Structure 1
Amino acid sequence: MTRIRVKGFKIFDDRHGKPRCYHRATGHKIDLEKTPLGSAEFFAECTRIAAIAEARKAQAPKPGTLGGLVNAYFQTEHFGNLADATKRDYRKCADFLHPIRDTPVSAITKPLVSGIHDKAAGKIGWRRANMVRTFLSQVFRYAIPRGLIDRDYAAGVIPKPRPKDRPYANRPWAVEERAVVLERAAPHVRVAIALIMNTGLDPSDALKLTRRQIDGNTIWGVRGKTGHEVAIPISPTLQAALDAAPPHDAVTILATSTGKPWTYNGFSTVWHRFKKKLEAEDAVQPGLTLKGLRHTVATTLREAGLEERQIADLLGQKTPSMARHYSRSANLADRNRITMETLEKENERRSKVVKPFKKTVKP
């Protein structure tokens, strides 16, 4: 019997005597029932798989290039420990750099990085251009100890300034906007917004909170972006919002209308549609973001006269030393309780001047 051989493919009989065929480099299996061994269809399938493998190999980052440095950084523990949002941002930066991925490391200089930064500002805006600069700096920093590059060529590149006529991102919400949104949001959306509004949590962190993270009248958690611990007392307003939320069996505190845990993208989509309807009716001003609620909490507390350290504790922005980690945790809830009482009183005072908005908008 003639034995068929194809370069790059492993052809053999299994323990049951049945013929098998795999592409060696990728492990891709050929279905020999659809494309019988030795048939024209079989050889065509082998050619197709080999061509795909070669194309992917050609696209893979080459050692000693910018693409190789980027790929090496993506394998580091540092990148793996970043928040999901930061990972997404860095992946987008890598996509922007993809056309020049084959640039040799020897050709990377500070003027080259500065030119990349300038081009990015023109194509994707000043903010994302600065993100590309930050990303390159991280790539270079983690490549230096491995001997892949000799210095951080992004270190001396000056960040792009915010345009003077550009409104600030994630602006604080006006009191009237908060009232309108809470009045007109669907119940499963209202409780999510109320939770963010009354805690200052990042939206992504709020959506991930589980029931087990509520201990008595305190929410315990960790900021996904920084890994810093937060201990947020549950105010009467927040407790009322949680009590009024639609019942569900999800492990998370917040859930969709079908009782499933929210994904960040899912909630963002629902929020965007809801917000656009309100903007079309001039019920809210443009520029309303979920992250803006975090700024709202900080601004409200600052205007109420609280110290920056108190606000930082509530928002999880303070970095404790490991030696004081547990003692800090023991006192954090008590300190934040005073902060939360101030926020509760200030929100109540401001809301008294706002007229209720009765019309409902479905998200």
Structure 2
Amino acid sequence: MAKRELPKHVYRQRNGLYFQRRGWKTRKIKADFGTPDFWKEYADLIAGMYGAPKVSTRTFGALIKDYHKSPRYRRLKPRTALDYDKYLDFFQAIMADANPANMQRKDVIRLRDTNAEKPYFANYSLRVLRVLMEHCVDLGWRETNPAKGVPEIKTEKAGREPWPRELLEAFRSECVIGTRERLVMELCVGTGQRIGDVLEMRWSDIQDGAIVVKQSKTGKELWVPILPELQAALDVASRHSVYLVTNERGTNRWSYRGASHAVRTVREKIGALDYDIHSWRYNAACELLEAGCEDDLIASVTGQSPAMVLHYTKKVRQRLRATQAQTMRAQNNPPRAR
């Protein structure tokens, strides 16, 4: 009997005919081919009368759920976990039912390139996928990590710089003392901390004229004296919540999204879109450098490593050093008579 005479999904093996369909349980057909009983049994198989199709429990949805319970996820800092969740939700939305064991390197590259017009999203999603697939390997669902070694999209992004003094003053003029935007700015510039740590600051953290900070990213605990500009903003701030900066109702801390959106609105008004919230941390480090502080003194406020202090202050440091060098050069070579 020619194979083409058999109906769809029916295949001849040595010991009889079998119903085989991808995702379904293979079943031997008992009736002889061509008989009424055969066609009835075949119709029942097609209709799923002998059990629903096999559904693999090893899906991306199950993998993401297990990853959320893992020590690898629980060790993430709160802000990092929040960032990861955005991309995990993205994976859940586009491939929850797919089997991660079937993902290949070419699929990872295709996923990255699909978002090439949004390099930050493409690269961050690749990092999270790399971690997720490593967890898949740990579970024994596959042997290798297909995202490992896949390069990120190269971007020509300008490095951050501190806000120019005139733009800082423009921000202060736009956001008077008593506004949340002004308080956030003075906290970021005055303490040199990340916005995530600033939004977590509480009134109970103020001790002996300083703010005690427990950095979420590094775990470092810092005691940072309060500058007059920051103290003026704190003196008029609302105290309806345990947090220094609250939401509109004053019931909880201000969210990162809310603060970022509000500050961006001001940046648009004053022409400061090239400088974001994180640039205020650069201001703190650079102001300390310009005040004559050595790197260890700068780090005592910002909590940064020596390498990061150099990174945050490199442009201002170069200008200061060049000015010093040229001044010394001029002093050593007095002007010649014309």
Same fold (TM over 0.5): yes
Paired amino acid for 1:121: A
Q: What per-residue deviation string (whole Å, max 9, x for no partner) do you get for residues 17-51 of structure 1?
A: xxxxxxxxxxxxxxxxxxxxxxxxxxxxxxxxxxx
Residue aligning to 1:200? 192
Distance 1:92 1:256 in 2: 22
| Matched residue type, 1:71 | K
Q: 1:212 aligns with which of 178, 196, 204?
A: 204
Gaps of 5+ in 2: 1-54, 307-319, 321-338
Q: CA deviation at 1:151?
A: 3.0
Query: Following TM superposition, by how much is the alpha carbon of 1:150 offset from its aligned partner in structure 2, in angstroms?
Result: 2.4
Does the residue aligned with 1:67 lie in a helix, a strand or coil? Answer: helix
Out of 290, 302, 311, the residue aligned to residue 315 of structure 1 is: 302
Query: Pick from 245, 248, 262: which aligns with 2:239?
Result: 248
Q: Aligned ranges for residues 85-96 of structure 1 at < 5 Å?
A: 85-96=79-90
- The separation in 2 between residues aligned to 1:310 and 1:63, in whole angstroms, is 55
* Identity of matched residues, %: 24
Deviations 1:168-226 (A, max 9, x none): 4x542111111111122042322221111111212232122112112212221222334
Q: 2:65 aligns with which of 46, 71, 95?
A: 71
In structure 2, what is the equivalent of residue 118 of structure 1? Answer: 113
- Offset of residue 114 of structure 1: 2.4
1:109 to 104, 107, 119: 104
Cα contact 2:197–2:215 (8 A) shared by 1: yes
Aligned with residue 230 of structure 2, among 230, 238, 242: 238
* Alignment-derived partner of residue 228 in structure 1: 220
Using structure 2 for the length normalisation, give the TM-score. Answer: 0.63
Inter-partner Cα distance in structure 2 for 1:275 and 1:62: 50
Structure 2 CA distance for partners of 1:259 and 1:108, relative to 1, 3 Å: closer
Structure 2 CA distance for aligned equivalents of residues 116 and 274 of structure 1: 35
* Residue aligned with 1:173, SS: coil
SS at match of 1:141: helix
- 1:52 paired residue number: none
Structure 1 residues 191, 80: CA separation in 2 closer, same or farther (over 3 Å shift)?
same
- Establish whether residue 176 from structure 1 lines up as the match of residue 166 from structure 2: yes
**Residue pair 2:186, 2:230 contacting (<8 A) in 1 also:** yes
Is the Cα–Cα contact under 8 Å of residues 130 and 159 in structure 1 kept in the other structure? yes
Q: Which amino acid aligns with 1:94?
A: L
Q: Is the 2:77–2:216 Cα contact (8 Å) retained in structure 1? A: yes
1:185 aligns with 2:152: no
Higher relative contact order (CA 8 A, sep 6+): 1
1:142 equivalent to 2:135? Answer yes
Kindly report the root-mean-square deviation, in angstroms, between the aligned alpha carbons of the 2 structures.
3.0
**Contact 1:182–1:194, Cα closer than 8 Å, also in 2:** no
2:284: which partner in 1?
297
Q: Aligned-pair distance for 1:286?
A: 2.0
Q: Deviations over 1:28-87 (max 9, x none)?
A: xxxxxxxxxxxxxxxxxxxxxxxxxxxxxxxxx963233332222122233234344323
Determine helix, strand or coil for the equivalent of 1:198. helix
- Max Rg structure: 2
